[in-house]
Structure 1
Amino acid sequence: MTPDMVIKLAEQAIYMIILLSAPMLLTALAVGLMVSVFQAMTQIQEQTLSFIPKIVAVFIALLIFGPWMLTILMDYTRDLMQQLPQIIG
């Protein structure tokens, strides 16, 4: 296994992590921003107020994007398994 292969595999893994986590992170960011605006408008400064809406939104995003994420992850795993003889040899 050459250093170039290691770098390529690490790059692909990091790209997969970013791609698969983006829907939940962006959803949590959007909900957190909306809750912050709501708190600023109503002057409610409760720190725990944003946790429940974020958790619910992330679970909903997981339900919506879950099949897509699973397909992407399965394709990546299939490609990785097909490249395994080249990586080992």
Structure 2
Amino acid sequence: MDTAMVIDIGRSALWVTVLVCAPLLTVALAVGVFIGVIQAATSINEMTLSFIPKLAALGVALLLFGSWQLVTLVDFTRGIFQRIPALFS
């Protein structure tokens, strides 16, 4: 295994991580900002108020994006396993 292969695997792993995490993080950020604006407009300063909407939104996002995330992770893992024979040649 040479340095270029290690860097390529690491780059691929980081890219897959970004792709898998991006939808959930974006939904959590959007809901958090929306709830924050609502709290600022109504002067309600309850810290736990944003927890339930974020949890519900993340559940919906997992239902929408979960299968795609799983397919992306499985494809990456298959790619890693397919590279194993090249390590010994």
TM-score (norm 1): 0.92
Q: Is the 8 A contact 1:24 1:62 kept in 2?
A: yes
Aligned to 2:30: 30
Aligned to 2:82: 82
CA RMSD of aligned residues (A): 1.1
Aligned to 1:18: 18
Q: Is the 8 A contact 1:5 1:87 kept in 2?
A: no
Partner amino acid for 1:82? Q
Q: Give the Cα separation in 1 of the matches to 2:12 and 2:87.
A: 14
Cα offset for 1:87? 2.9
Q: Give the Cα separation in 2 of the matches to 1:87 and 1:16.
A: 22
TM-score (norm 2): 0.92
* 1:17-63: CA deviation from partner (whole Å, max 9, x where unpaired): 11001111000000001100100110101111111111111111011
Count of aligned positions = 89
Q: Give the Cα separation in 2 of the matches to 1:51 and 1:36.
A: 11
Q: Give unmatched runs, 5+ long, in structure 2.
A: none
Percent of pairs identical after alignment? Answer: 46
Q: Give unmatched runs, 5+ long, in structure 1.
A: none
Aligned to 1:6: 6
Q: Give the Cα separation in 1 of the matches to 2:4 and 2:37.
A: 47
Q: Which secondary structure state, in structure 2, belongs to the residue aligned with residue 44 of structure 1?
A: coil
Tell me which stretches of 4 or more aligned residues in structure 1 moved more than 2 Å: none
Partner amino acid for 2:17? I
